[in-house]
């Protein structure tokens, strides 16, 4: 796997503990908080005074330790990029799906238990041979670059850093109850898993036998990584969250990209003007989450699911005919509750899911008739026009569902664009929203039965998804934007 992408704007490297770095450290090896029958911290535990220093000392807030994982796993940042590139890889690593390596496409193909293989060790065998399409997306190129350069044996983790005890210390509150930081439970979970591998041979021929534990260690490492990053970044950042955060309901944080303004027809309603900010479909949907959920329910759910019974009109995946189906409680909750719809919107943040057919259990939600010029949602195959052909029928995808649901809202809502922290006058201004689904989208008419809407932004799955924000270049200076090629990830 080789990808030519150079993040030249920074010279950071991922952290992998080397022997020379751990030589002066004492590892944490025990789960105990205290020594047996004592109030003294266990000398080899997470709060050890011998490892981290005396309680209240400066040493205790600056001395790191580590735990031996007993098996090599991917760096958590690399693992995140792996499962973001293709969610199927996560299933293979977890051992829940079988695959074979296709030498022609140089990728994993879904298989069965008889012909395929599964597990963490199998995935690591083929990782270096994968050759994936970058789809002209900078983020995807960056992810593939990270996987190719850091998904190698020399960058795999065999030890995991443990924060100084003073940053997560055990204490007793005023009510006499013990308290400790939640990160300690995550450390214990990881330590407990690694301790199960004591005295187990881990050769090339036996490594597959510990796939389950190895995968759980990988997810434990990721959980710790995300917890630590959450202290520094994100909405709940520990350092900046208290002093520099803003609580904005239904706001989205976006990366600024150049605005490509080319007007072909001054009278066209689809032209991007100085009044517009271009934003991706998913970001737009999250910015108007209550409206998006209402539109999905109004346009689709209310026509397919019975609110009073457990039946729905869904599509058989083999015959492509609509049939009445008994729907389980889990599926009903996913489509008929606010929490369920909000969760579905959240999952659309994963690029890999957007082009997948919308499934309800083992059935397609519904079909789309697409002849290249007109796209028509098919709610019931028994009531299709005679002019519809089977060749033009296909299951509706998640991104299409979202696009069609929100199509008649694109010119209704405005946004308040904010450069935060504000550094110049003009760093906050209202703007019209121009919603863009993908690069080089399709121009089609969407027939909703009661109305036909022409759009030039229908998703084109052959191109990259549009996941950023493009203000008009007239506002770029006030927003503190420049052209230095900064890459945010």
Average pLDDT, the chain: 86
Same domain, 228 and 314: no
Tens digits of residue pLDDT in 62-120: 999 999 999 999 999 999 999 999 999 999 999 999 999 999 999 999 999 999 999 99
More confident of the two residues 476 and 350: 350
Q: How far is CA 104 from the centre of its chain?
A: 28
The string of DSSP letters for 198-247 reads TT----TTTGGGGHHHHHHHHHHHHHHHHHHHHHHSSTT-HHHHHHH---
Render pLDDT for 339-390 as a digit per residue (tens, 0 to 9): 899 999 988 888 889 999 999 999 999 999 999 999 999 999 999 999 999 9
The position carrying tokens 């990728």 is 107
pLDDT score recorded for residue 271: 75
Tokens of 250: 């239904």
Domain match, 209 and 311 both:
no
Residues 237 and 280 in one domain: no
The runs of H, that is alpha helices, within 99-210 are: 120-127, 138-150, 183-195
CB-based contacts of 399, cutoff 8 Å, min separation 6: 281, 348, 354, 355, 437, 459, 461, 465
The predicted pLDDT at position 266 comes to 63
Whether residue 403 is found in the same domain as residue 446: yes
Judged against a pLDDT cut of 50, whether residue 236 lies above it is answered with no
In a shared domain, residues 43 and 162: yes
The residue-averaged pLDDT of 13-39 equals 88
Would residue 303 count as lying in a domain? Answer: yes
Please give the average per-residue pLDDT across 327-331, as a whole number. 89
Residue 93 resides in a domain = no
pLDDT in tens, 129-181: 998 887 767 888 888 989 998 999 999 999 999 999 998 998 888 888 888 89
pLDDT of residue 489: 29
Sign of the alpha-carbon dihedral angle for 151, 352, 418, 225: negative
Query: How far from 25 is each of 17, 52, 426, CA to CA, in Å?
Result: 11, 10, 51
pLDDT for position 406: 96
Q: Within a domain: residue 486?
A: no
3-state secondary structure of 41: strand
What is the pLDDT at residue 10?
Answer: 47
Residue with the larger pLDDT of the pair 439 and 474: 439
**Better-predicted residue by pLDDT, 100 or 329:** 100
Within a domain: 106 = no
Given a contact cutoff of 8 angstroms between Cβ atoms, the answer to whether 313 and 324 are in contact is yes
> Which of these ranges, 43-57, 60-74, 271-285, 391-405, has the smallest mean pLDDT?
271-285
97 Rama sector, left if φ>0, alpha if ψ -120 to 50, beta otherwise:
beta
Question: Looking at the whole model, is its pTM more than 0.85?
Answer: no
DSSP state of 80: H
Q: Which domain holds residue 325?
A: 276-475
Q: What is the pLDDT of residue 485?
A: 46
- Give the helix/strand (H/E) hosting 315: strand 311-315
Helix axes 329-336, 338-347, angle to 10 degrees: 80
Asked if residue 257 has pLDDT above 80, the reply is no
Residue 168 and residue 314 in one domain:
no
470 in the same domain as 398: yes
Specify the number of domains making up the chain.
2
* 329 and 399 assigned to the same domain: yes
- Please state, in angstroms and as integers, the Cα–Cα distance from residue 403 to each residue in 117, 400, 414, 438, following that order: 37, 5, 18, 11
Q: Per DSSP, what are the bridge partners of residue 429?
A: 417
Do 340 and 225 sit in the same domain of this protein?
no
* Assigned domain for 250 exists: no
Question: Closest by alpha carbon to 88, among 128, 132, 41?
Answer: 132
């Amino acid at each position: 796997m080789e990808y030519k992408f150079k993040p030249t704007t920074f010279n950071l490297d991922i952290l992998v503990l080397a022997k020379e770095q751990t030589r002066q450290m004492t590892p944490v090896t025990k789960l105990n908080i205290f020594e047996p029958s004592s109030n003294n911290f266990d000398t080899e535990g997470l709060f050890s005074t011998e490892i981290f220093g005396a309680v209240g000392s400066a040493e205790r807030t600056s001395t790191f330790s580590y735990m031996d994982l007993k098996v090599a796993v991917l760096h958590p940042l690399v693992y995140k990029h792996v499962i973001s590139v293709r969610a199927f890889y996560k299933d293979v690593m977890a051992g829940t799906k079988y695959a074979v390596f296709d030498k022609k496409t140089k990728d994993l193909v879904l298989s069965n238990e008889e012909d395929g293989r599964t597990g963490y060790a199998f995935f690591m065998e083929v990782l270096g041979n994968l050759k994936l399409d970058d789809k002209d997306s900078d983020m995807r190129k960056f992810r593939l670059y990270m996987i190719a350069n850091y998904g190698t044996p020399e960058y795999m983790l065999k030890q995991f850093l443990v924060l100084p005890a003073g940053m997560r210390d055990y204490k007793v509150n005023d009510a006499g109850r013990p308290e400790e930081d939640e990160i300690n439970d995550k450390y214990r979970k990881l330590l407990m898993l690694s301790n199960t591998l004591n005295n187990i041979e881990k050769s090339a021929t036996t490594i597959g036998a510990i796939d389950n534990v190895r995968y759980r260690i990988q997810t434990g490492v990721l959980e710790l990584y995300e917890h630590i990053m959450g202290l520094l970044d994100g909405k709940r950042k520990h350092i900046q969250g208290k002093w520099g955060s803003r609580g904005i309901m239904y706001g989205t944080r976006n990366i600024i990209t150049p605005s490509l303004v080319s007007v072909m027809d001054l009278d066209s309603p689809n032209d991007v003007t100085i009044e517009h900010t271009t934003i991706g479909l998913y970001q737009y949907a999250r910015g108007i989450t209550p409206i998006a959920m209402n539109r999905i329910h109004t346009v689709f759910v209310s026509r397919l699911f019975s609110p009073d019974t457990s039946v729905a009109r869904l599509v058989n995946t083999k015959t492509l005919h609509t049939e009445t189906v008994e729907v389980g409680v889990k599926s009903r909750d996913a489509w008929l509750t606010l929490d369920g719809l909000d969760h579905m919107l959240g999952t659309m943040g994963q690029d890999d899911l957007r082009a997948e057919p919308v499934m309800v259990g083992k059935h397609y939600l519904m079909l789309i008739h697409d002849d290249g010029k007109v796209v028509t949602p098919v709610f019931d195959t028994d009531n299709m026009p005679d002019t519809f052909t089977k060749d033009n029928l296909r299951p509706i995808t998640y991104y299409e569902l979202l696009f069609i649901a929100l199509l008649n809202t694109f010119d209704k809502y405005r946004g308040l664009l904010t450069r935060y922290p504000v550094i110049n006058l003009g760093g906050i201004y209202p703007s019209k929203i121009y919603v863009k689904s993908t690069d080089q989208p399709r121009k089609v008419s969407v027939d909703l039965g009661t109305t036909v809407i022409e759009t030039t932004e229908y998703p084109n799955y052959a191109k990259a998804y549009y996941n950023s924000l493009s203000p008009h270049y007239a506002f770029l200076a006030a927003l503190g934007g420049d052209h230095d090629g900064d890459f945010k990830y």
